[in-house]
Structure 1
Amino acid sequence: MSTLNERSGEYRVAREKTRRKVLRIIVVVILVVLAGFLCYTIWDGIRNKQYNSYKIVASFDRTDSNTVVYKNYGDNILKYSRDGASAIDSEGNVIWNGSVEMQSPMVDISGDYVAIADDGGKEIYVYSGSDAGTLIEVPLPIRNIRVASQGVVAAVLEDSTSNTVCLYDPYNSSEKLLVEVPTNVSSDGYPVDIELSSDGKSLVTAYLSVTKGVPESRVCFYNFSEVGQDKNRIVGGKTYDNTMIAKLDFINENTVCIMLDNGFSLFENMKQPEELCTERFDREIKSAVFDEGYVGFVFEEGGDAAMSGLKLYDASGKKVLDKKVDYQYEQVYMDKGEIIFLSGGGCSIIRTDGFCKFKGVFDSGAQYLFGTNEKDTYYMVDENRINIIELTEDNTQ
């Protein structure tokens, strides 16, 4: 049997081992916390780096005129004019080219697919990104077009007393016309916009009618899957009294934004549309922007021409940004999750959390600025060249 002194010694040894173990655990925890804090600080510093200049990493001449319009096309660029449309990559190589003569070209893009038509014409050209284009001939003048991510096209065709919204499959060799949605201008109103979901199965149309000088707008939801077959394709709708609908936009596969003259509505579930929210503003909307998962607005701010209010909402209708900005601009739009303000040579880029990522001036001016798949790298199109630029923190180029 151990003596009292022996038991006391064993207790002290055990207690010392426990104390050392606890100290080791505390040290490890402190080191983990410090490492995490250090990683966060580094990540936050990189993420919240503010740029004021740029360097040109590649550049090639424009072989067109200033009447050509440029659009972002995935990680490439689409350009179109009265002479047709073409896509070019980051090295200036032509990916595809469509030579079509038009007076007032309309273009829509979804994924790799591009639809182009002449306003008032009777031909629609669809490009898949890897072919020479497919032609759809229609019987009536075209007033609007939309394309889905597999090439299905919706078009508004105009007659003297009615309009028809038609759905086409350009790659169907037997019958390209899939669905006709007839409307009567006197009873339904004039179709001001249409929007097609990326899968081509949901169509939203907006109509405007005026009675005794009072505008009334109506939005209709159509579904071309098995869900809509028993309902003449109509699966929902809403009327807006004394309101004008300016634009429709799918901000994700299953959520559409109804842009009003004084606010917006969001609807989800295109098989059985449900209104997520309707927001009305008491200030004049100067500009509206859309991107995947977001809709935003720029407002007049208190009569100060140098200031604007900027609000951004996510696809659930939650306001995620509300701030004042002092950016003078000629263009504002969203691209790849960023809000871009352009004014001649001046440019500001704001993230969706409100952080100003870039504020600077392009020496040669900028007509267009599009993000690429490379971090902090953009296409910058000026009067003479297409430049690929990388944002920097200093004034060296």
Structure 2
Amino acid sequence: MKDEKKKRFHIAKKKDIPDLTKPGVALEIRKKGKKDSDMPPKEPEIKNDTVFSWDIKASDGKKTNTEKKRKIQNKTIRKWVIVSVCAAAALAAYLTITLQTYTDVSVISQEQEAGTGRSSYARFDENILRCSRDGVVLFDTDGKELWKEDCQIQNPVVEVNKESAVVTDSGGNSILIFGKKGLKGEVQTELPIERVAVSEKGITAVILKEGNTPSIQCYDAAGNLLLEYKVSAVEQGYPVDLALSPDGTTLLVSYVSIKDGNPDTELVYYDFGNKDEDGKYRVGGKTYEDTVMPSVYFVSDEKSVAVGDGGFVLYNGTKPKEKEYVKISKEIKSICYDKEYLGIILKNTDKAGYELKLFDYDGKEVISKDFEGDYSKVKIEKGQVLMYDGEKCSIYTDSGVHRFDGKMGTNIKDIFPLKGINKYLVVDANGTKTVRLTK
């Protein structure tokens, strides 16, 4: 029996057995038929012809997990290649748009408004506040009126601090305190108004003119008098500017006095909720000799700035102390600021033109750019320095890109950056128009 089985089958040597795990290899072993019983056994034939790969297809024709994984990998690779190409194209387009200097504008839309010739404008959150002799109006960037308050103000001055705004009549006696939804409080002063400041909470401080004894008064958002502080200009100096912390708890005043023919500036911080040993409310400050600092403001509750003819000084803390004094040798022509940067326009001494310097509130210089031309107005908003005069306008970004240098086609009263690529709202004597920068 054993001999008979040996005649029917032939066992291949191990070295002759192919590796069946390799793709493209199939093994065929033939069983000897009855008619060949008298013939000697044949060696099994090993066929290396590619019949199919069981790595690719199973006997039932279904795809194996290996093929599915390979196809998923291929799809993933193709997807990321497409994404990378699209991202590169988008980045190239973005850089092309943002890194070049535009010289012209195209008008997208225009809103005609009567009586805007003597109006003052200010950004109030994402909307625009317009103040004129006819009243105060808040409208959105599409020109839609949100609310209006009728009033009689001859020379409107606007100050905004996030959620609160105050409108005063410069040299007059009217103070209007606004929130986002409209009028919150109104004050009539007995003395002429010289300077005004407002906190985020709507607390308002004013300097009232009265010869050598000016008065500093503070009001809550409803217009109620909180305190009055009499100043002796002979002893302390004359208050030239003031600012309130966002929470309304700290007041900063800049006093200028003349001693031995030279001007000195004393910065004084008041916390009217606490009295010091002398029965006063002073919680910090310092005197700067031979210097005039006519501009002061708060960046946050614990950070404030004073700008003068020799540079600017940074203060920190709830009991404010000088952090850094950044000295500038060139003549300061004008300044602008927001919660991120302080911009200073300097007059060049060794060459024609001016220099724009932008600083952060650690005293670090962010950009320095030379430019030609005189601009009577300068502001900083949404990371852009906007300088304009008549039809002329020049715009720099906080990364140092000269975004625009040309004419707006109208006498600019004010200009505001808008959402979208290179879009701006331009205010002129006839109303507002939305423009896009072009080449």
* Bucket of the pairwise TM-score, normalised by the shorter protein: 0.7 to 0.9
Letter in 2 for 1:311: K
CA gap of 1:142–1:329, structure 2 versus 1, over 3 A, is closer
Correspondence for 2:149 among 98, 110, 130: 98
The more displaced of 133-142 and 237-246 is: 133-142
Letter in 2 for 1:276: K
Query: Which secondary structure state, in structure 1, belongs to the residue aligned with residue 214 of structure 2?
Result: strand
8 A contact 1:251–1:290 mirrored in 2:
no
Correspondence for 2:383 among 334, 337, 340: 337
Aligned to 1:298: 345
Aligned to 2:426: 380
Aligned to 2:334: 287
Tell me how far 1:140 sits from its aligned partner. Answer: 3.6
Q: Which has the higher contact order (CA 8 A, sep 6+)?
A: 1
8 A contact 1:249–1:290 mirrored in 2:
no
- 1:207 is the counterpart of 2:255: yes
Query: Which secondary structure state, in structure 2, belongs to the residue aligned with residue 70 of structure 1?
Result: strand
Tell me how far 1:134 sits from its aligned partner. Answer: 2.0
The more displaced of 162-171 and 203-212 is: 162-171
Tell me how far 1:238 sits from its aligned partner. Answer: 0.8
Please give the alpha-carbon distance, in whole angstroms, between the structure 1 residues aligned to 2:114 and 2:90: 47
Query: Which secondary structure state, in structure 1, belongs to the residue aligned with residue 424 of structure 2?
Result: strand
Letter in 2 for 1:74: D
Aligned to 1:18: none
The more displaced of 343-352 and 86-95 is: 86-95
Q: TM-score scaled to structure 2, two decimals? A: 0.74
8 A contact 1:264–1:278 mirrored in 2:
yes
Tell me how far 1:157 sits from its aligned partner. Answer: 2.6
Tell me how far 1:354 sits from its aligned partner. Answer: 1.1
The more displaced of 160-169 and 205-214 is: 160-169
Query: Which secondary structure state, in structure 2, belongs to the residue aligned with residue 187 of structure 1?
Result: helix
Tell me how far 1:83 sits from its aligned partner. Answer: 4.1
8 A contact 1:106–1:119 mirrored in 2:
yes
CA gap of 1:89–1:42, structure 2 versus 1, over 3 A, is closer
- 1:48 is the counterpart of 2:95: no
Correspondence for 1:222 among 270, 281, 287: 270
Aligned to 1:274: 321
CA deviation profile, 1:81-102 (whole Å, cap 9, x unmatched): 3444322222333323233323
Query: Which secondary structure state, in structure 1, belongs to the residue aligned with residue 231 of structure 2?
Result: strand
Query: Which secondary structure state, in structure 2, belongs to the residue aligned with residue 92 of structure 1?
Result: coil
User: RMSD value over aligned CA atoms?
Assistant: 3.3
- 1:257 is the counterpart of 2:305: yes
- 1:134 is the counterpart of 2:134: no
Tell me how far 1:240 sits from its aligned partner. Answer: 0.9
Letter in 1 for 2:237: G
8 A contact 1:370–1:378 mirrored in 2:
yes
Correspondence for 1:310 among 334, 356, 364: 356
Please give the alpha-carbon distance, in whole angstroms, between the structure 2 residues aligned to 1:184 and 1:350: 43
8 A contact 1:251–1:294 mirrored in 2:
no
Query: Which secondary structure state, in structure 2, belongs to the residue aligned with residue 193 of structure 1?
Result: strand
CA gap of 1:374–1:249, structure 2 versus 1, over 3 A, is farther
- 1:359 is the counterpart of 2:405: yes
- 1:154 is the counterpart of 2:224: no
Larger Rg: 2
Please give the alpha-carbon distance, in whole angstroms, between the structure 2 residues aligned to 1:36 and 1:236: 53
8 A contact 2:201–2:248 mirrored in 1:
yes
Please give the alpha-carbon distance, in whole angstroms, between the structure 2 residues aligned to 1:384 and 1:36: 43
8 A contact 1:69–1:79 mirrored in 2:
yes
Tell me how far 1:49 sits from its aligned partner. Answer: 4.5
Q: TM-score scaled to structure 1, two decimals? A: 0.82
Aligned to 1:165: 216
8 A contact 2:124–2:165 mirrored in 1:
no
Query: Which secondary structure state, in structure 2, belongs to the residue aligned with residue 333 of structure 1?
Result: strand
**Unpaired runs of at least 5, structure 2:** 1-72
Superposition map of 1:27-38 within 5 A = none
CA gap of 1:160–1:382, structure 2 versus 1, over 3 A, is closer
Query: Which secondary structure state, in structure 2, belongs to the residue aligned with residue 245 of structure 1?
Result: coil
Please give the alpha-carbon distance, in whole angstroms, between the structure 2 residues aligned to 1:75 and 1:35: 32
CA gap of 1:296–1:181, structure 2 versus 1, over 3 A, is same
Letter in 1 for 2:254: A
Tell me how far 1:263 sits from its aligned partner. Answer: 1.3
Aligned to 2:416: 370
- 1:86 is the counterpart of 2:137: yes
Aligned to 2:234: 186
Query: Which secondary structure state, in structure 2, belongs to the residue aligned with residue 339 of structure 1?
Result: strand
CA gap of 1:367–1:135, structure 2 versus 1, over 3 A, is closer
Query: Which secondary structure state, in structure 2, belongs to the residue aligned with residue 200 of structure 1?
Result: coil
8 A contact 1:369–1:381 mirrored in 2:
yes
**Unpaired runs of at least 5, structure 1:** 1-23
Aligned to 2:169: 118
Please give the alpha-carbon distance, in whole angstroms, between the structure 2 residues aligned to 1:119 and 1:347: 28
The more displaced of 136-145 and 57-66 is: 136-145
Tell me how far 1:38 sits from its aligned partner. Answer: 6.6
Please give the alpha-carbon distance, in whole angstroms, between the structure 2 residues aligned to 1:77 and 1:87: 6
CA deviation profile, 1:201-242 (whole Å, cap 9, x unmatched): 2211000111232111101012356xx456643210110111
CA gap of 1:282–1:230, structure 2 versus 1, over 3 A, is closer
